[in-house]
């Protein structure tokens, strides 16, 4: 299986898949790690079509602890991306070829301030079905146009997200 962009209808199992992974990550990291583990992305928005990848935001304020996340997450089947151009973030993927048949989970490690936009966007989509519908239209168009170009797909979504968050700040939503 290739690493192509594929959107599927909302799957009611996604929240349970997140919860199971959240518990596994919490157990793997241990109680001494101060972190909040939350469900983000399209799979966290009821009814929203998505790539069938559970996006997990691991909010950890003590960046000195971050390197200690690599081994426990690798033990859960994640692959760490050491070449992330954003040195103020960490990123892990589970299931990505050639280590699996297809991506199943992403873990995004951020400090609290850097996590806020992701959480606001998720909450905007949950609270405003008309915005969620617009986002679905954008995602479908991008998935068709950039089926095999994950970076272009992601950048296209990012433009929409930035515009939505800027408008939400202006509108006070």
Q: What is the pLDDT of residues 18-41, one digit of tens each?
A: 999 999 999 999 999 999 999 999
- Which residue would you say has higher pLDDT here, 172 or 128? 128
Please count the other Cβ atoms lying within 10 Å of the Cβ belonging to residue 146: 17
Report the percent of the chain where pLDDT is more than 70: 95
Please state, in angstroms and rounded to a whole number, the distance separating the CA atoms of residues 145 and 61. Answer: 37
Q: What is the pLDDT of residue 74?
A: 96
Please state, in angstroms and rounded to a whole number, the distance separating the CA atoms of residues 139 and 114. Answer: 23
Q: Tens of pLDDT along 73-116?
A: 999 999 999 998 888 999 999 998 888 888 999 999 999 999 99
Tokens describing residue 24: 């596994």
User: 87-90 contacts: CB < 8 A, separation 24 or more?
Assistant: 88/63, 88/114, 89/114, 90/66
Task: Please enumerate in sequence order all residues whose Cβ is within 8 A of that of 84, keeping only pairs 6 or more positions apart, or say none.
Answer: 90, 91
Q: What is the pLDDT of residue 1?
A: 38
Q: Tens of pLDDT along 142-155?
A: 999 999 998 899 99
Q: Tens of pLDDT along 161-171?
A: 988 888 876 55
* pLDDT of residue 4 exceeding 90: no
* pLDDT of residue 173 exceeding 60: no
Please state, in angstroms and rounded to a whole number, the distance separating the CA atoms of residues 53 and 39. Answer: 11
Q: What is the pLDDT of residue 3?
A: 65
Please state, in angstroms and rounded to a whole number, the distance separating the CA atoms of residues 127 and 153. Answer: 24
């Amino acid at each position: 299986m290739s690493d192509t962009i594929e959107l599927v209808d909302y799957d009611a199992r996604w929240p349970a898949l997140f919860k199971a992974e959240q518990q596994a990550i919490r157990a793997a990291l241990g109680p001494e790690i101060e972190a909040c583990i939350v469900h983000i992305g399209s799979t966290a928005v009821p009814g929203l079509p998505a790539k069938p990848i559970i996006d997990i935001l691991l909010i950890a304020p003590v960046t000195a602890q971050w390197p200690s996340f690599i081994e426990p997450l690798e033990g859960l089947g994640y692959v760490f991306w050491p070449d992330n151009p954003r040195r103020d973030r960490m990123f892990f993927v589970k299931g990505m070829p050639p280590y699996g048949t297809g991506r199943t989970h992403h873990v995004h490690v951020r400090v609290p301030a850097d996590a806020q936009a992701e959480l606001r966007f998720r909450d905007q989509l949950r609270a405003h079905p008309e915005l969620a519908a617009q986002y679905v239209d954008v995602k479908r168009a991008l998935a068709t146009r950039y089926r095999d170009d994950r970076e272009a797909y992601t950048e296209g979504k990012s433009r929409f997200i930035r515009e939505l968050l800027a408008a939400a700040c202006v509108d006070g939503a």
